[in-house]
Structure 1
């Protein structure tokens, strides 16, 4: 008597079809994990660093270096090396020296490394490592914030940013390195408050290279206040560390011509060139240069900062800022807050403060993209845009920065994109 042959149950797919379905399902799970799971960043980040190493070498090898400001930096350093200490008399081919003494310190080292302009290729190698070191620190920030991989990848997609670093050798990358280090230290300070002191040092170093780091200052003050639970004494100690670095790095110039140094290195009235303004081609050059326009931008900047300060920056369950400030001033060595907010809340305060400053900046030149590009992955994640919409936002934003020469269409689009992102950041508030 022969054994009965098993038959497939009605409606059940055959084994081969089930196998394909299971394989496709697992593949989709893997793809979903790699794109959306924060845990996958441990795999994605090393791959991106390796990719950037190769890409930067290819860019340097195949795309010609373009001289814009590096010669002027060297001309200014040569005058300083020859003994000039009056900041008002130090200038290069593109104009006077308008950067603080941290810039001078770095470029004196670079002048030796590149033998002036004789070995620019070595300078490009240095800036390649600068880009990669900054990227690794960025990834440390993203890891703490648990960003999904699709956001992290955006940090490596800017054509303009690669150019700013290894094809132009602008000084903005050095400020960005110090600012990323500062943000990373302050996020770690959510568990180790003592890290606020080294963060004050790296922040002061950033300001001493280029003043754009001052856009973070409102966020820095709020973040340190929250991280130290409102201890005014600790806040003042951090301020003392920051001031000490400014005095130390500029000692040669402050001892010789202090007024000239302060007036030139921290000149807030400096005029920018309209033709290179990426963000304000939508207004005429006459409007762009008018003091009333500048005052309007400053007032708008302060107004939006105050809006975020009073409605978004306070820690969860924190009393009103007025009550907190009164308690902190009455007992400056005693905590005025019951708890330290999360690292994500601190990051929101810092990055949004800078982004507000960028939105209302008097001018954004091409190299200024380095000021805030590294923050876009976090800002887009906090905006809660769907992934596809966020990628479209990023692509349009990059097109605005790649447009050459700057145009009114690109400027208008850039303002629309950044304004929409800031609105979403306000509506959604700080991450939990």
Structure 2
């Protein structure tokens, strides 16, 4: 072989050399370790799990028997609208009167027509399976953007969620639709699309009122990041969506629509409660107990506003002002939103089994916002899963659920921002500038 041929060979590696290089770069032990533990590689594992979830949901629909709970009632409620009834007080189903805002009506009215008046259950299940994949995509994007969770947490998010799969493809609850909208809104907020985000957030509220649990932190985010003038603009967008969707019902019976769709005083049935089973029923339905929970809710919001959200959102606004896109910036907005929702759930007057979807996908993020050990974090997740899968609920499952909730709140509180951490952020920003 001539010297020229040898030089050409050096410049153009053989196929064997290329494969060897790829092996050492992508199949090495170090790279596999990174795929498992490094949050920067979260998106790679997420793609794999999304593909697996498509298959899992198809298998569930094909092999597991559908369980009728609220679907027929939903169809009966929107059938009244299909027949020309716009008075909310006249819309009812087997489970009672319609108690959800107008967005719910339009979405399930669409499903009513698509599924042949609600009779094609299989088609509805596949639509909710697609909805579940969309929700996971939105949640995974939040996790990837924040660089908070290690990729191995996908195993626990996807593989231990028996009840979550059931809520979507075996029960078809409206809670699923509402949570897809809210995660879409959070993605828009962290991308800086505040106006569209507010619109989508309001759509979520129009499906189910529990989405308002995010509102305290979102209002503070508006004020800190956008200022008073733009906050009024965002609130106007939210209000306009509600008025526009509810307009036909408001024109027919405004008092009836507002009373039925935004009834904050609704009394829940004790037999379905997941979180207060250890209480006597007379205390569970007592209005003084409800008032005490409301006061506690307000106190916790004020506490975390003072200890966490003020600093988080102030620093987030500063980073936005200088145009800096960092992992930390994303976290400073996400945690207040997730925590605001979690506080509301912790002091809720009652939690039913389908309400698990309200916060299931935020629990790993909240636990990774504490200083707990990984073992303890996983233990708390496992115990919460145990509580939600204990049917019917018992005094010990309800009590244990409260203990887990309080542990998370205490962990996040103890990991509150300090002057030293704030100073480190200021120094980092000064270097950037």
Q: TM above 0.5, one fold?
A: yes
Distance 2:115 2:387 in 1: 33
Distance 2:184 2:129 in 1: 17
Which of 191, 203, 206 aligns to 1:205? It is 203
Which of 272, 278, 283 aligns to 1:282? It is 278
Say which is worse superposed, 308-317 or 76-85, in terms of deviation. Answer: 308-317
- Please name the residue that 1:384 is paired with: 371
* Contact preservation (8 Å) 2:101, 2:262: yes
* Contact preservation (8 Å) 1:226, 1:315: no
Which of 212, 222, 225 aligns to 2:223? It is 225
Distance 1:220 1:117 in 2: 36
Bigger RCO of structures 1 and 2 (CA < 8 A, at least 6 apart): 1
User: 1:151: how far off?
Assistant: 2.9
Closer, same or farther in 2 for the Cα pair 1:342/1:39, shift >3 Å? closer
Do residues 311 (structure 1) and 310 (structure 2) align? no
Distance 1:41 1:317 in 2: 25
Query: Which sections of structure 1, spanning at least 5 residues, go unmatched?
Result: 1-22, 190-194, 325-334
Query: Would you identify which runs of 4 or more consecutive aligned residues in structure 1 move more than 6 Å?
Result: 337-341
User: 1:318: how far off?
Assistant: 4.8
- Please name the residue that 1:138 is paired with: 139
SS in 2 for 1:199: helix
Distance 1:131 1:47 in 2: 15
| Number of equivalenced pairs | 386
Distance 1:122 1:399 in 2: 31
Distance 1:388 1:35 in 2: 16
Distance 1:93 1:163 in 2: 21
Distance 2:141 2:89 in 1: 40
Distance 1:343 1:239 in 2: 22
Distance 1:297 1:368 in 2: 18
Q: Deviations over 1:58-115 (max 9, x none)?
A: 1111110011000000011111111111111211000000000000010000001111
* Contact preservation (8 Å) 2:74, 2:108: yes
* Contact preservation (8 Å) 1:151, 1:380: no
Closer, same or farther in 2 for the Cα pair 1:39/1:343, shift >3 Å? closer
- Please name the residue that 2:155 is paired with: 153
Write the mapping of 1:25-40 to structure 2, written as runs, cut at 5 A: 29-40=30-41
User: 1:367: how far off?
Assistant: 0.4
User: 1:31: how far off?
Assistant: 4.7
- Please name the residue that 1:188 is paired with: 191
Which of 171, 176, 179 aligns to 1:176? It is 179
- Please name the residue that 2:9 is paired with: none
User: 1:33: how far off?
Assistant: 1.7
User: 1:148: how far off?
Assistant: 1.4
User: 1:407: how far off?
Assistant: 1.0
Say which is worse superposed, 37-46 or 263-272, in terms of deviation. Answer: 37-46
* Contact preservation (8 Å) 1:142, 1:152: no
Query: Which sections of structure 2, spanning at least 5 residues, go unmatched?
Result: 1-23, 426-433
Distance 1:258 1:168 in 2: 31
SS in 2 for 1:149: coil
SS in 2 for 1:383: coil
Structure with the largest fraction of helix: 2
Do residues 49 (structure 1) and 36 (structure 2) align? no
* Contact preservation (8 Å) 1:222, 1:349: no
- C-alpha RMSD of matched pairs (Å): 2.1
User: 1:27: how far off?
Assistant: 6.4
* Contact preservation (8 Å) 2:102, 2:246: yes
User: 1:32: how far off?
Assistant: 3.1
User: 1:338: how far off?
Assistant: 6.7
User: 1:316: how far off?
Assistant: 5.7
- Please name the residue that 1:395 is paired with: 382
Q: Deviations over 1:176-228 (max 9, x none)?
A: 00110111111122xxxxx1111110111011000000100101101122222
| TM-score, length of structure 1 as denominator length | 0.86
Do residues 353 (structure 1) and 353 (structure 2) align? no
- Please name the residue that 1:129 is paired with: 130
